[in-house]
Structure 1
Amino acid sequence: MKGKMFKSAIAVALTASVVGVQSPETAQAAAGDFELTIMHTNDTHGNLDKVANRVSLVKKIRSEQPNNLLLDAGDVFSGTLYFNTFEGQADLTFMNLMKYDAMTFGNHEFDLGASERGHKSLAEFVEGAKFPLVAANVDFSGDADMAGLQNKTYSSDYNDGEIYNGIVKEIDGEQVGIFGLTTEETASISSPGDITFSDYIEAAKEAVAEFEKQGINKIIAVTHIGFDDSSEFDNDQLLAEEVEGIDVIVGGHTHKKLDEPFIYEGNTDPTVIVQANEYNKFLGQLDLTFDENGVITSQLGKLHEVGAKDVVADEEAAELLAPYAADIEELKNQSTGASAEVFLNGGRNEGGVRASETNLGNLITDGMLAAAKKIDSDTVIAVQNGGGIRASINVGDITVGEVLTTMPFGNSLAIMNLTGAELKTALEHAVRQFPAENGGFLHVAGLQFSFDPSQPAGSRVTEVNVKNGDKLTPLDMNKSYKVATNTFTAKGGDGFASFEAAYKAGRVSEPGNIDYEMFIDHAKSLDKVKPMLENRINAITPITDVAMDRWSYPYINDVYHRGIMKGTSDTKFTTKSNLTRWEAATIIYRMMKLNPETVPASPFTDISDLPAERQKEINAIFAEGYITGKTATTFNPREKISRAHFALMISRVYEKVNGEYKVDEYASYSDYGQHSTETKEAITLLDNLGIVQGYNGKFMPSMLITREETAKVASLTAPHTTK
């Protein structure tokens, strides 16, 4: 413990919140004070398109703040074609240009561990770094490529391109200790192999003690453990609570956008926590003043938007980026030979791949199963972890670039020999956190299962059926099944203990087929790709009047769990009932997650008899331009809505999020009649996206839309409403 003392004014001001230590505007500098600016990034994940802007911001801040540090909290690896193509070397070019002072490892730095090259790309990244990396709770000694790069010391005499528990930087005559931490969860969510992770609290206590032994009273933890991640593993707030003596935590992992620093003041001295969101969207800046005892007496933190209009790209960086970008552009445009007729949902949000069945998850597992059957014809099931699906694929020609962005890890095929009981255990694990997102949520082929979210984790799966031709047969707990997956999941990634046990018991074969290659082969075999929701994964609802085999069931199930549509009663959905204008308003309001408290009242005088909540929803979507009134002052809330009218509303939702959609040619329906140009374009937009379809060449625009038709449109539109 440093035993530092607060100034009384600060002690009064501090709370465990985003306010606390005085800002520079209110604090007075004193003799002996030390000012330090920390620039910070995290979870950039290979997003380099705007990196020249970040370089420009770094140069500007350095010119204004001579006492500075530039730190990265990990997850430079994985996520874009820049990484898939250059495996970290493109990112390193710009980190070296910006003269980073230190970086810690994120879990994704270990993603290539299961590949043929193992951690060679990570070793090359470390060796090429013109800065040290810090990792106090990571042991690289078990990995041949990484072991020789680690020095388990806290050193002021450090070398670039090597790994230390911590380093000591001298800035304007003051010594600053910097150490790194990586989430212990890496062992189950990435592919570290023989690289191990120790308890972060104990490692941090050791780091603080080592620095204090050297007389250092300004200590920074650069962490990839998450601001508010599960306490089952680790997070920055727990670190601040459990370890006294850390002045600043520069964090990553949870992609948290902390517009202002979070101050923890439960110990003798405060700990300032910062995190700068994700994907090179922001550069964080934290301006600090320390007194002569190393106490932070003022802080001011902010996030600079990298893509802001007033940020001019650095010319040198832009020139360096050009050849990388040219290679990526060429790769992006290379066709796979297949075309998507519908939007393929790989989103990370409600109803996305980490919490729900999606058409892209179905397509990926179908391709995996098809490839596995060619190798072992006894393979009957395939499962894919949602965390391995990283992006959606748009309607139109499917390019190699899109596929590699969606499946960036290059995971190889594994075929497991599992008992029915082991498979059911895995399914329980997959849905244990529902409706929360979970990288271990499994997409399936050759299988259909139901689970009850109201039951406790571990006891949710109510029914599992295996596809046998056109029939479904109940899963036999004692029978063995051949199940295809990727090697990451087969080895127990995402915590699948039953899979790991099978792997260790020698019941897993590894044919070596690469995931994105299997996907491309399968998509090409289909030519026109149009996967749909098939009720492979059924999260049970209280609705009793929609049979599981009805075409609308998976869409109703989806919008129910998204909170977009509920029943007309606790147990009835009333599929054939027609939609009213106020119901449409509620659906759009929920889909867009609008805030009714921030909009003025609408001019409508005929909604006052509706519940107050419904009135606010109508006001909100009117203010956003999704609806208009029947007249200047009337809304006519109980009027039934036609298919054309709802298409028009939904097209406005799409364009609000995605920008104007250019229609070159109307969809080929023969019954547009006298509908407006805007309505025709709206129908065409939704037709092109695979959201709506007609009947025998007709759209039937004047027909009243039913609740089950609405559920399908809302379900297929929802993935487009989150960016």
Structure 2
Amino acid sequence: MLPPPLQCIILLFLLKWIHGVKFTLLHTNDMHSWFDPISAKGGKCLPGDDEQGLCFGGFGRVATAVQKARSSGPTIYLNAGDSFQGTPWFSVYRGKMVAELLNMLAPDAMALGVHEFDDGVDKLVEFLQTVNFPVVSGTLNLTNEPTLEACENLMDYKILKLNKTRIGIVGYIRSDTKQRTQPNNVIYKREVSSINKITKRLIQNEVNIIIALGHSGYQTDMDIALRCPDVDIVVGGQSHTFLYTGKAPHTDIAEGPYPTIVIKPDGRKVLVLQAYAYTKYLGKIHLEFDRGGNLLTFKGNPVLLDSTFKASQDIQDYLQKYRQVISDMEDHVVGTTTVFLNGDRKSCGLGECNFGNFIADSFVYARVLETMRDRSSWTDASIGIVNAGAIRASIEPGETGAITEADVVMVLPFSQHLFYTKISGTQLMRALEHSAYLRSTDNTGGFLQVSGLRLKYNYSHPKGQRITEIKALCSSCQIPHYENVITEDYYGIVLTSFLVHGGDGYNFIDTHNPTVQNLSILDRNAVIRYLQEHKVIYPEREERIMMQERMYRSSSGRRGLVAAVLFATFLYLASK
């Protein structure tokens, strides 16, 4: 029997071991430059609506919530990428403003998102040289981008110290980023294998709590949780996934519980976290680990950043210095719509949407104006194409139907130049078959909205053979009409720089006789001009793209079929 004093010492030692560290983990993802609050429908917060509790988020509220948590105890705040793009603020002030505002939020670490590459490597370098916090991305090979490799703030991982506990933050980004953004020489490595190599080094450096922070989507987040043995928590982004346990505080429908628990082969629980997008929610979870890095307890849910959170005055003062330019854009009416312009990412990524039709039509119109001097035909490019991922918002007609310059910038925030190209009917059909394929994957943003085409797809057919009918608007004709696409004929197309440069895996440049011309106009300026000259618009769905679906197919592709079979099985068993 040990003497009582020694028993007390041993007990205190065990308690200290068991209760190694407690802290609050905060996280945001896909903030997309929503410096101001966002409306319930995902658009601009109208004057007076915020005061009535009808708007949410904004960087000022994020700052207030983060500061409140930090003042209450040990806290780590992480950003899972895509802070670039999405609002007129970014379209005007680009990454420098994002960097300065993120410095005010002071995340402990940030992952790179796909959109952080949208302005090219040079602008990303400027961003990294401006921020004063670590940016982690352990799945990049930067050998061929030396200026990016030289950025001191960009690293594979960051080790944080909390109550003498070493916590490793390992960064990752989706491996197909090269096909989703501007051309660069970065090599994007596979997430799981890259993370596992890094975590082995961290374990050797006495890091026993490891958080994977990255931007690859909810499904990949769960795969990382399952297949990376040293990872304890996964904080993700990219898929804008809303996770919540219990009744959600607003109208958003949870796609899974918060946290989503993944069980490793050895029986350990790993927590997968996301917090929707656009600053509407702040992910918040209380964690407790023992000294061995084993998760003991956890409790939390995303926090809805509503009007109960007063925006940080420092951030409001900063924005006010630059607001006049944004206000002028919001006051500049460029057209009127009498119908809802549907730019919803799911609608436009799964089929024809009326806003996609309108935008593609404006591309064709831009080329018609450019070639007016040549009266041999009405145009040399009767086809307009835009990928669904380029369309980032819808426009409500509202009381007056007014469309402002700021609205258009919200819809098309990427500042893409328009190009004319000429390709064979065979190559055109290959591109459209690729569009059909992307629609059945998680990259529905690659699905094409069209002008000057009539398409029919049959998803009962195998990949690459789904087009059952394709007609194109003639260009060398006095009265435009639709004709069957001939494989040997050539067709003029107007499309964005993203697609011309091979974005989403497309090839719109003829290999034998490449013909590419820059129209010297941005996509959104083409839309604005089309609006201004047509005054009032009411675009419709015109059966430009018609689908014959497989039974039980959903936006999740084959997963929809599996879900339907499982559900039918459940009903059968329940009836027994």
> What TM-score does the superposition give when structure 1 sets the normalisation length?
0.64
Corresponding residue for 1:306? 305
1:293–1:64 distance in 2 versus 1, CA, 3 Å: same
Deviations 1:163-219 (A, max 9, x none): 011111122222111110000121112224222211212210111011112121111
User: Residue in 1 aligned with 2:27?
Assistant: 40
Match of 1:366 among 355, 361, 364: 361
Distance of 2:106 and 2:455 partners within structure 1: 52
SS of the equivalent of 2:98 reads: helix
Residue of structure 2 in register with 1:224 after alignment: 215
Partner residue, 1:718: none
- Deviation at residue 288 of structure 1 after TM alignment: 1.5
Distance in 2 (alpha carbons) for counterparts of 1:321 and 1:524: 30
Code of the residue aligned with 2:498 in structure 1: it is F
**Is 1:400 the equivalent of 2:394?**
no
- Report the equivalent of 1:513: 521
Q: Given the alignment of the two structures, is residue 409 of structure 1 paired with residue 414 of structure 2, yes or no?
A: yes
CA distance, structure 1, for counterparts of residue 242 and residue 338 of structure 2: 35
Match of 1:86 among 82, 90, 93: 93
Deviations 1:651-677 (A, max 9, x none): xxxxxxxxxxxxxxxxxxxxxxxxxxx
1:490/1:503 contact within 8 Å kept: no
2:238 is equivalent to residue 253 of structure 1: yes
Q: 1:438 aligns with which of 435, 438, 444?
A: 444
Q: CA shift at 1:371, angstroms?
A: 1.9
1:401 match: secondary structure: helix
> Conserved in 2, the CA contact under 8 Å of 1:240 and 1:246?
yes
Alignment-derived partner of residue 334 in structure 1: 332
3-state SS, counterpart of residue 513 of structure 1: strand
2:532 corresponds to: 524
CA contact (8 A) 2:229 2:264 kept: no
Q: CA–CA distance in 2 between the matches of 1:372 and 1:562?
A: 36
Equivalent AA in structure 1 for residue 262 of structure 2: Y
> After the TM superposition, which of the residue ranges 485-494 and 275-284 deviates more from structure 2?
485-494
**Pick from 167, 173, 176: which aligns with 2:167?**
176
Aligned to 1:692: none
* Contact 2:183-2:501 at 8 Å conserved across structures: no
Q: CA deviation at 1:402?
A: 0.6
Structural mapping, 1:119-158, within 5 Å: 119-143=121-145, 146-149=148-151
Opposite residue 319 of structure 1, the aligned amino acid is D
Provide TM-score, normalisation by structure 2: 0.80
Assess if the C-alpha contact under 8 Å between 2:337 and 2:537 holds in 1. Answer: yes
Q: What does residue 429 of structure 1 align with?
A: 434
Q: Give the equivalent residue in structure 2 for 1:57.
A: 65
What SS does the corresponding residue of 1:439 show, helix, strand or coil? helix
Q: Does 1:458 align with 2:464?
A: yes
Indicate the SS of the match to 2:409. helix
- Going from structure 1 to structure 2, the CA distance change for 1:279 and 1:200 (only over 3 Å counts) comes to same
Cα separation, 1, equivalents of 2:292 and 2:548: 59
2:569 maps to none
Per the TM alignment, residue 387 of structure 1 is displaced from its structure 2 partner at its CA by: 1.0
* Mapping 1:291-302, distance limit 5 Å: 291-302=290-301
Separation (CA, whole Å) in 2 of partners of 1:485 and 1:51? 34
Shift in Å at residue 64 of structure 1?
A: 1.2
Match of 2:393 in 1: 391
How much does 1:222 deviate? 0.5
Identify the range of structure 1 (428-437 vs 447-456) with the bigger mean alpha-carbon deviation.
428-437
Alpha-carbon shift at residue 524 of structure 1 (Å): 1.8
Whether 2:242 is the aligned partner of 1:243: answer: no
**1:341 CA drift (Å):** 2.9
How many Å apart are 1:480 and its aligned residue? 1.7
Q: Which residue matches 1:418?
A: 423
TM-aligned CA distance change 1:478 to 1:52, over 3 Å: same
C-alpha spacing 1:325/1:282, structure 2 compared with 1 (3 Å)? farther
For 2:22, the aligned partner's letter is E
Give 1 or 2 for the bigger CA radius of gyration: 1
Alignment of 1:236-635 (within 5 A): 236-259=221-244, 260-268=258-266, 269-307=268-306, 309-336=307-334, 338-349=335-346, 352-375=347-370, 377-395=379-397, 396-432=401-437, 434=439, 438-468=444-474, 469-496=479-506, 498-499=507-508, 502=510, 506-540=514-548
What residue identity is the alignment partner of 2:525? Answer: E
* Structural RMSD (CA): 2.5
Could you say what secondary structure the match of 1:87 adopts? helix
In the alignment, what sits opposite 1:99? Answer: 106
Matched, 1:209 2:200: yes
CA distance in 1, matches of 2:554, 2:364: 29
Compute the displacement of 1:311 (Å). 1.9
In structure 1, distance between residues paired with 2:227 and 2:83:
28
Tell me, which stretches of 5 or more residues in structure 1 are unaligned? 1-27, 114-118, 151-161, 229-234, 543-560, 564-723
Larger RCO: Structure 1 or Structure 2 (Cα < 8 Å, ≥ 6 residues apart)? 2
CA displacement at 1:326 relative to structure 2: 4.2
Percent pairwise identity? 27
Cα distance, 1:409 vs structure 2: 0.3
Rounded to whole Å, the distance in 1 between the matches of 2:419 and 2:402 is: 29
433-442 or 272-281, larger mean C-alpha shift: 433-442
Give the 3 Å change call, closer, same or farther, for CA 455–408 of structure 1 in structure 2: same
Hey, what's the Cα distance between the residues in 1 that align with 2:84 and 2:316? 21
Count, aligned residues: 490
For the Cα contact (< 8 Å) 1:344–1:360, is it kept in 2? yes
Q: How has the CA–CA distance of structure 1 residues 143 and 507 changed in structure 2, closer, same or farther, with 3 Å as cutoff?
A: farther
Q: Cα offset for 1:435? A: 7.2
1:270 is displaced (CA, Å) by: 2.9
